[in-house]
């Protein structure tokens, strides 16, 4: 397993740097792991177990040299909803299923597809998650009593309003101390691990001056065990799989998105390149194993990965050392964690929520007042007021509809007419007659001919068919794709034109379009003799089909050949029946 290229050429000096980076990240990861676990509705030690096991396995099997994995804020709403509705044991099953899904995604090389999820969707649900995390800490910040965690945002807000009279001023003082530390320590003492300081300083003050006045990990959760739990396989049944499949899929998608985003950020900071599918497999392995030891779902953490890089990490060993450091700390100092006030964790999570809200990007997309703005707001509101599962589904659906609409507008159908040689004649009626050749219609098609644009394509060309030309030439050089609906509409067009005695000619179609014509049977219906690689050949062939004697232009001059195309020096593209925004 250590033949992985990510572990190659690691010197003793590199290992020293990785140890320092691992310890630094471990110091950051411990308070976050406990805080995320509590916010997700489970005991704080489960966040530490996740930090240890998932961090180790992703470093070992992942696709990024610097990825640090563990519990993240993005998971809080979906994990809390699962815990409240199905219980902690079923959360473990959902995480296990999500791990299997991530491995499948990696095996089928879906890593690069995740990046195509629209930014309006990711910003929408990320900002919604930030609101949920922030609002979820109001109770701990104020020290409110008798609060019950509810599944929906408005229910939790009602709970806070109903219990506002139970404010604990000691809790507020504790939280404010932590908040001041987070704001000013990085400015005054940049080398000090700010999150650890924001956890320890309020704890020390609370223990010394008002030890019984605030809720702590010990009073609420009974303290943290001084060991890792034993291996325990959850009781998985088919009924549970059916119920948990949807939330597990959301965990897998969210985990895949965040881990790959983190890997991309890592690449940008270091100039390296991650292996997206291997990263998904590594995340999958971590999420399969972690629940067996009581851990919650994990993914790549952008902030911790960035801290790892800034701390001088050289290889994935830094992630392994981080896990070892957190494990040693758990074994040695777990009893002391019982004294940590919950109020000291509130500002940490609130700041995390603020940092992950991406309010600048949210405001920017909102100001666009486009379909992206609608997708953003819809995804955001559904995340906050319904749940993340519905928000992602509806957000992606709206984004798809918006994309289809925009792509349909990209399709351009342009009529080509002869640029007539001007004659020294005063007969203006003749000039108007020669502006269009009634026997031959030539159209240039540009853009994707798919289900969203097929109807527009057919309706525009049909106008020409109604004038009953002899030949219809379709230049398809710039048709990027032809799907089944586009082929069906083209088939209908060819059939109708054939029924009135016309001949359809195709020119300059690419290999993909030709393959679709063959698969759909259109190639044989049009006829190989009517398909050309060059438009010039298609025009010359079309001219041979023209009946000059029946032409309203050439017949008037008693010509034997087509005046319009024989004397034309070049072709002029003009628009018929459609506006082109690019022109």
Nearest to 382 by CA among 374, 577, 91, 519: 374
Pick from 4-13, 210-219, 440-449: least confident: 4-13
Please indicate, yes or no, whether residues 306 and 426 belong to a single structural domain of this protein: no
**421 CB neighbour count, 10 Å cutoff:** 11
Nearest to 296 by CA among 59, 103, 96, 81: 96
Average pLDDT of the chain to the nearest whole number: 86
Is residue 58, in this structure, part of any structural domain at all?
yes
Q: What is the rounded CA–CA span in Å between residue 211 and residue 347?
A: 19
Tokens of 438: 């009634």
Mean predicted confidence (pLDDT) in 42-62: 96
Is residue 365, in this structure, part of any structural domain at all?
no
Mean predicted confidence (pLDDT) in 563-582: 42
Please indicate, yes or no, whether residues 109 and 206 belong to a single structural domain of this protein: yes
Q: What is the rounded CA–CA span in Å between residue 562 and residue 541?
A: 13
Is residue 134, in this structure, part of any structural domain at all?
yes
Please indicate, yes or no, whether residues 349 and 246 belong to a single structural domain of this protein: yes
Sequence-distant (≥ 6) Cβ neighbours of residue 57 within 8 angstroms: 69, 282, 285, 286, 289, 290
Domain that holds residue 538: 411-575
Q: What is the rounded CA–CA span in Å between residue 137 and residue 510?
A: 58
Alpha-helix residue ranges (DSSP H) falling in 386-475: 388-410, 428-433, 454-465
Is residue 379, in this structure, part of any structural domain at all?
no
Please indicate, yes or no, whether residues 291 and 419 belong to a single structural domain of this protein: no
pLDDT class for 549, splitting at 50, 70, 90?
A: low
pLDDT class for 114, splitting at 50, 70, 90?
A: confident
Is residue 60, in this structure, part of any structural domain at all?
yes
Please indicate, yes or no, whether residues 446 and 301 belong to a single structural domain of this protein: no
Mean predicted confidence (pLDDT) in 131-157: 90
Residue 75 is predicted with a pLDDT of 92
Please indicate, yes or no, whether residues 312 and 423 belong to a single structural domain of this protein: no
Please indicate, yes or no, whether residues 552 and 458 belong to a single structural domain of this protein: yes
Please indicate, yes or no, whether residues 345 and 423 belong to a single structural domain of this protein: no
Q: What is the rounded CA–CA span in Å between residue 280 and residue 427?
A: 74
Is residue 391, in this structure, part of any structural domain at all?
no
Please indicate, yes or no, whether residues 72 and 166 belong to a single structural domain of this protein: yes
Q: Residue 417 pLDDT > 70, yes or no?
A: no
Please indicate, yes or no, whether residues 65 and 185 belong to a single structural domain of this protein: yes
Is residue 61, in this structure, part of any structural domain at all?
yes
Give the number of domains in the chain. 2
Backbone angles phi, psi at 426, to 5 degrees: -95, 5
Q: CATH code at 515?
A: 3.30.750.24
Please indicate, yes or no, whether residues 333 and 451 belong to a single structural domain of this protein: no
Q: What is the pLDDT of residues 295-351, one digit of tens each?
A: 999 999 988 999 999 889 999 999 999 999 999 999 999 999 999 999 999 999 999
Q: Residue 263 pLDDT > 70, yes or no?
A: yes
Q: Which residue has the higher pLDDT, 403 or 198?
A: 198
Please indicate, yes or no, whether residues 104 and 245 belong to a single structural domain of this protein: yes
Is residue 368, in this structure, part of any structural domain at all?
no
Q: What is the rounded CA–CA span in Å between residue 301 and residue 319?
A: 12
């Amino acid at each position: 397993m250590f033949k992985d290229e990510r572990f190659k050429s690691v010197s003793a000096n590199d290992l020293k740097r990785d140890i320092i980076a691992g310890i630094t990240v471990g110091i950051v990861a411990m308070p976050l792991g406990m805080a995320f676990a509590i916010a997700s509705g489970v005991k704080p030690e489960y966040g530490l177990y996740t930090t240890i096991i998932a961090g180790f396995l992703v470093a070992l099997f992942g696709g990024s040299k610097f990825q640090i994995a563990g519990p993240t804020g993005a998971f809080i709403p979906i994990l809390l909803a699962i815990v409240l509705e199905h219980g902690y044991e079923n959360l473990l099953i959902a995480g296990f299923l999500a791990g299997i899904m991530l491995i499948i995604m990696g095996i089928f090389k879906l890593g690069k597809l995740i990046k195509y999820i629209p930014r309006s969707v990711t910003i929408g649900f990320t900002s919604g998650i930030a609101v949920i995390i922030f609002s979820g800490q109001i109770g701990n910040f104020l020290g409110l009593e008798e609060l019950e965690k509810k599944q929906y945002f408005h229910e939790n807000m009602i709970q806070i309003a109903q219990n506002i009279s139970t404010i604990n001023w000691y809790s507020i003082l504790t939280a404010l101390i932590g908040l001041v530390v987070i704001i000013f320590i990085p400015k005054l003492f940049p080398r000090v691990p700010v999150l650890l300081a924001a956890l320890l300083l309020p704890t020390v003050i609370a223990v010394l001056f008002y030890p019984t006045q605030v809720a702590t990990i010990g009073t609420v959760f009974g303290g943290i065990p001084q060991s890792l739990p034993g291996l325990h396989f959850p009781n998985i049944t088919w009924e549970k799989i059916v119920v948990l499949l949807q939330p597990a899929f959301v965990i897998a998608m969210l985990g895949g998105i965040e881990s790959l985003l983190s890997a991309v950020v890592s690449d940008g900071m270091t100039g390296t390149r991650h292996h997206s599918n291997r990263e998904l497999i590594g995340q999958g392995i971590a999420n399969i194993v972690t629940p067996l030891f009581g851990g919650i779902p994990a993914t790549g953490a952008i902030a911790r990965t960035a801290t790892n890089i800034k701390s001088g990490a050289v290889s994935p060993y830094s992630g392994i050392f981080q896990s070892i450091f957190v494990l040693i700390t758990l074994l040695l100092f777990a009893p002391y964690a019982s004294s940590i006030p919950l109020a000291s964790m509130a500002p940490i999570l609130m700041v995390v929520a603020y940092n992950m809200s991406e309010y600048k990007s949210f405001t920017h997309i909102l100001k666009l007042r486009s379909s992206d703005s609608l997708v953003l707001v819809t995804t955001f509101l559904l995340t906050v007021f319904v749940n993340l599962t519905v928000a992602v589904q509806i957000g992606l659906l709206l984004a798809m509809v918006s994309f289809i609409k925009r792509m349909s507008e990209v399709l351009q159908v342009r009529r080509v007419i002869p640029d007539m040689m001007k004659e020294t004649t005063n007969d203006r009626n003749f000039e108007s007659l020669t502006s269009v050749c009634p026997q031959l219609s030539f159209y240039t098609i540009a853009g994707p001919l798919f289900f969203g644009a097929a109807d527009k394509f057919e309706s525009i060309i049909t106008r020409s068919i109604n004038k009953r030309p002899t030949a219809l030439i379709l230049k398809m050089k710039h048709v990027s794709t032809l799907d089944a609906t586009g082929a069906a509409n083209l088939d209908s067009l060819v059939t109708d034109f054939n029924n009135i005695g016309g001949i359809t000619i195709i020119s300059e179609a690419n290999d993909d379009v030709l393959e679709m014509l063959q698969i759909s049977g259109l190639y044989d219906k049009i006829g190989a003799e009517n398909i050309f690689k060059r438009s010039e050949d298609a025009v010359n062939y079309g001219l041979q089909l023209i009946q000059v004697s029946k032409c309203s232009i050439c017949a008037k001059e008693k010509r034997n050949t087509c005046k319009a195309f024989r004397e034309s020096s070049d072709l002029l593209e003009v628009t018929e029946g459609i506006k082109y925004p690019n022109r």
